[in-house]
Structure 1
């Protein structure tokens, strides 16, 4: 999945597969996670957030199932 760089103290890159509703994030520690069932509004909300790390921790991480993947 293509990921784009973001300016965050928590996240390094984010990507989104709209057809599968999968959000992929790479954290500053190098871990990569895919969050399942994420609607487009939450992906675009993450991109537009003043603090992407805060948005991720409050709106994405606790609300969607995820799996760790190889970076």
Structure 2
């Protein structure tokens, strides 16, 4: 999955697959996680948020099932 770099003190890059509704987050610490059944609007709001890390913490982290992939 292609990811785009974001400006964040915790997140390095973010990617999204529309077909599977999978959100992929690469953290600056090196971990890569996939979050499942994430609506596209959540992805769009995440990458355009004034604080990507805060949006992720409030709207994604505790809301969607995930697994570590890297």
Q: Same fold (TM over 0.5)?
A: yes
2:33 matches 1:38 = no
RMSD of the alignment, in Å?
A: 0.5
What is the aligned partner in structure 1 of residue 27 from structure 2? 27
Moved over 6 A (4+): none
Q: Count residues in correspondence.
A: 70
Tell me the CA shift for residue 32 of structure 1. Answer: 0.3
The match for 1:63 is: 63
Unaligned runs of 5+ in 2: none
The Cα offsets for residues 27-67 of structure 1, whole Å up to 9 and x where unpaired, read as: 11000000000000100000110000000011000100000
